[in-house]
Amino acid sequence: MTASDVTLREYGPAVSVPLSAETGRTLAASGILRSVTPDPGREGHWLLQAGSRVGAVRTPGGPVVRIAPKTPVRRLFFLLGFSLDPARSWRDSREGTVEVGTYDDVVPALAHAVERHIDRALRQGLLHGYREVEETALVMRGRLRTAEQLRRHFGRTPPVEITYDAYTADTAENRILRAATERLLRLPDVPGPVRQRLLRLRARLADASPLVRGQELPRWQPSRLNSRYQPAVRLAEAVLHGSSPEHRPAGPTPLALDGFLLDMNQLFEDFVTVGLREAVREHGLTARLQHPCHLDTAGLVRMRPDLVVRGRDGRTPHAVVDAKYKVEKAGGFPPSDLYQALAYATVLGLREAHLVYAAGREPERSHQVRGTGPSGQGVRLYQHSLDLSQDPAQLLASLRKIGGRLAGSAAPSQP
């Protein structure tokens, strides 16, 4: 850490930081902070305020900007691990599935966790698999690509255009692990011992092809053969999937902001919806995340509730949930959240809707809506508080309790 580095706190007060005009404009355009504005009281300084994203970002020629989460790092990575592998997390709720070692900052903890998971995955050697290869060769093997042969070499052999299945370490799983390792090696704040172990892992993954930046990650399917790889690959995908972007604002000579950021809004939503999906399964129900529907009959106004629980027939809406990464303030939760929940209940023909918050003064409260709802009864809106300061076992018990409430919700009036 250098004297010029900056530490902000998630949703904390703005901090005045000396920045060049170019770096300040780049940070403002990137959208990674809640606000970036020139400090009117100090020339050459900018006021930086963090929002829901936590982690670290390196600015070329400027400081490393670190954003500390309000939630302890160990708890944060429990939420992440649960979202990635809920079945295992239900069984191992005391410590969670993502090891963060002794690190209390996001990037060091992430680097340690990924290195430990990849090392464990590779202890029995590199995973090999069959991959289809297409090439031009002098010797025939596999199958002839007739169309390519006629197009490229009509009337001439050799060479021949062939395709065959190669048994190789260049699998989708190994490519994802290599890409995540290389990504971490470019991040600020990776501890020296962890960096050395990551370098050794990258060497072991040298037979896997590097990924092309900007392209989609290769697809893989969980199976018995890759079971030892699955925790590492899921965590590696979390590193690579949009949560660790290289921010390149538009402009004639843009500066690149490289780092790793976790969006706490998305992380909380994923934890709540995945957890409630698993909880209602214990009651024989199913659930769909990000359920698409429309507010109006013309289908012009789109809505997407975070979670819709379905009845035992797998089709009929049974309950609706929206997760809000918000803490109750002195004036209570925003009324707009209740309006949104009411709209969901109305569209889906439900007598109840549920909101789940990150913290509140009461575990649960409800509001009976005036007017006539389905079956001649008013709609009831529930607000649940999920205290993230609880230990993992208590958090999962709270999710199960909310899941039980969803399973017992009144059935919809419409088939």
Sorting pLDDT into bands at 50, 70 and 90, what band is 382? very high
Note the pLDDT of residue 361: 82
Note the pLDDT of residue 93: 55
Sorting pLDDT into bands at 50, 70 and 90, what band is 412? very low
Render pLDDT for 85-143 as a digit per residue (tens, 0 to 9). Answer: 887 766 555 555 567 778 888 999 999 999 999 999 999 999 998 777 777 776 677 67
Q: What is the mean pLDDT of residues 301-317?
A: 89
Q: Tell me: pLDDT of 69 over 50.
A: yes
Note the pLDDT of residue 136: 79
Among 93-97, 137-141, 222-226, 316-320, where is mean pLDDT lowest?
93-97
Q: Tell me: pLDDT of 243 over 50.
A: no
**pLDDT higher for 60 or 365?**
365
Note the pLDDT of residue 375: 53
Note the pLDDT of residue 212: 83
Sorting pLDDT into bands at 50, 70 and 90, what band is 36? very high
Question: Domain coordinates of the chain in residue numbers?
Answer: 6-70+254-261, 73-126+171-240, 129-168, 282-407
Sorting pLDDT into bands at 50, 70 and 90, what band is 1? very low
Average pLDDT of the chain to the nearest whole number: 84
Note the pLDDT of residue 275: 93
Note the pLDDT of residue 414: 44
Note the pLDDT of residue 210: 92
Note the pLDDT of residue 96: 55
Q: How far is CA 390 from the centre of its chain?
A: 21
Q: What is the mean pLDDT of residues 377-382?
A: 84
Q: What is the mean pLDDT of residues 285-291?
A: 90
Note the pLDDT of residue 344: 93
